[in-house]
Amino acid sequence: MADRTWGTNPFTPTFGVTPPRLAGRDPELAAFVDALDEGPGAPGRATLFTGPRGSGKTVMLNAVEDLAKTRGWLVISQSTRPGVAEELATSDLPALLAYADPEEGRSEVTSVSVSGATFGGGVTRTRAERHPRTPTLRSQLAELTDLLRPNGTGVLITLDEVHRAALTDLRVIAQAVQHAFREGRDVAFAAAGLPAAVDALLRDDVLTFLRRAERVPLRDVSDPAVDLALHDPVLAAGRTMGDEALAVAAQGTHGYPFLVQLVGHAMWDVDRTSRQITAEHARRGVASARRRVGRLVHEPALADLSAVDRAFLDAMALDDGPTRMGDIAVRLGVSAGYASQYRLRLIATALIAPAGYGRVDFAVPYLREYLRKRMRR
């Protein structure tokens, strides 16, 4: 095993962990900050971040939470699951109310005993809670924003991985937030989810509030931003990286946020005894990342699909570039109209994208290669 000369690897190829350099998302973050600063009624105060696995949805939630905290806002951060609405009402909001209200734990005189004219008496005090622990979400949001109003701040609620399995909870939360919006309260809401999951939620008749939210699809990061995200952590950790190594590593990421961290982490570990990360280190890092991204991103993404969805992707994988829809229909033995329905479904998942008239192509790096390897097996 190589000596760990250069210490801890600065890259973080773990889902939901904020990278050392969050590059390429400045416009999206600036829009959210503007919404906080503009006050109630700003459209960006309800935002939905969407994208395929590895596009940085959870990282964006982490970033907006941090930005809200720097402005003095209180933050509730939760993952979407059945029961989350009750947890907000019975734990998260009462805790923030106790934090924000200086009179939360005031003592009250509840009894007085006297055993003599001038001595021997006693006063009994008990702690009285101002806020019960089972009020509604709506009432607690109202009370909390009333307490925060003198400070000019508010409360941000974030939900990660939104999906229909928690539909009842999402309805309760959305209705409470919508009511706070109608009353002009300083409440903001941000959620993240896979595109198909968000689309399914927006079709719900009760969640009309979410249809008016700002929808922010997280696309690939630009080349300059990828260069910064790879180069800066290396330099900050005391190592160097030449232009050729940077070009090899950046090209291997295809601008995909998770691959930036995966490639960076792999190339760092190739030879920790070398102060300089070379082009060969970068090539080996890219090769390692390509192998791992199949297990970490492609495999779980395919597990969510139907058998016909997967057959459609397999038919695309036979081509080296964009595939004609007519060829997919022939390969699947179905009509063009039938194939088009699955085209729309897969575009909604952000796994494929239109590539010119009558053509589609893969939108996630290395998915074609992964499917080919799986078909060979």
Q: Where do the domains of the chain lie, and which CATH numbers do they carry?
A: 26-101+124-217 (3.40.50.300), 223-301 (1.10.8), 305-376 (1.10.10.10)
Torsions phi, psi for 157 (to 5 deg) = -110, 125
Residue 360 backbone class (left: φ over 0; alpha: ψ -120 to 50; beta: rest): beta
- Residue closest to 241 by CA, chosen among 264, 218, 209: 264
pLDDT at 286: 97
Contact between 279 and 313 under an 8 Å Cβ cutoff? The reply is: no
pLDDT at 134: 57
pLDDT at 22: 81
pLDDT at 94: 93
- Residue 319, C-beta contacts closer than 8 angstroms, at least 6 positions apart: 327
d(Cα 333, Cα 331) in Å, to the nearest integer? 6
Torsion on CA atoms 326, 329, 334, 338, rounded to nearest 10 = -80
In terms of pTM, does the model score above 0.85?
no
pLDDT at 13: 87
- Residue closest to 226 by CA, chosen among 188, 253, 191, 186: 253
d(Cα 173, Cα 93) in Å, to the nearest integer? 12
pLDDT at 19: 80
Q: Which tokens sit at 110?
A: 């509840």
Per-residue pLDDT of the chain (377 residues; tens, 9 = 90+): 445 577 789 998 887 778 877 888 999 999 999 999 999 999 899 999 999 888 999 999 999 999 999 999 999 999 999 999 999 999 999 999 999 987 764 434 333 333 333 334 444 444 545 554 558 999 999 999 999 999 999 999 999 999 989 999 999 999 999 999 999 999 999 999 999 889 888 888 878 888 889 999 998 999 999 999 999 999 999 999 999 999 999 999 999 999 999 999 999 999 999 999 999 999 999 999 999 999 999 999 999 899 999 999 999 999 999 999 999 999 999 999 999 999 999 998 899 999 999 999 999 999 999 999 999 87
pLDDT at 116: 35
pLDDT at 102: 74
d(Cα 76, Cα 65) in Å, to the nearest integer? 9
